[in-house]
Amino acid sequence: MQGLLAAFNEYRSAKDGADISYKMGQKAKTGGTLGRAPIGYLNTIDRFDGREIRAVGIDTERAPFVKLAFELYASGDHTLEDIVDELTDRGLTTRPTGPHPAGPVSISKMSQLLKDRYYLGLVTYKSEIY
């Protein structure tokens, strides 16, 4: 009996994993955000006809800072450290999570932000760009 249950659980786990992978691929193909939205955006939940629709919206508090970061970087006159210092002085902080309070954005996080293709409207899933 335990052998049958273990086989059934293994089958069910593989089936559920394939289903989730397919759905995430479909979401990426339609331009959806997978996981937590990057800084400058917020994950949102809308309810429509009894269904939950998860989307991404502009974070009105942090989006102007992200725009400024790209403008400062594009000017070529500022280092990453200069950009982080300027944005921190203006009040940019990370979003707080359960164990971590809001704080300044690190230089490495700023580097990732400026390289992130998400800000170009591109979503990457399993090495595919949508």
The whole-number average pLDDT for the span 36-62 is: 89
- pLDDT for position 100: 87
Phi-psi region of 35 (alpha: psi -120 to 50; beta: other; left: phi over 0): left
Residue 93, judged by CB atoms within 10 A of its CB (0-12, 13-18, 19+), counts as: middle
Under a CB-based contact definition with an 8 Å cutoff, are residues 81 and 72 in contact?
no
Q: Where are the domains of the chain?
A: 59-129
| 120 compared with 27, residue with greater pLDDT | 120
- pTM for the model stands at 0.75
Check pLDDT > 80 for residue 22: yes
Whole-number average pLDDT of the chain: 89
The pLDDT tens digits for 44-53 are 988 888 888 8
How far the first Cα of the chain sits from its last, in Å, is: 46
| 65 compared with 48, residue with greater pLDDT | 65
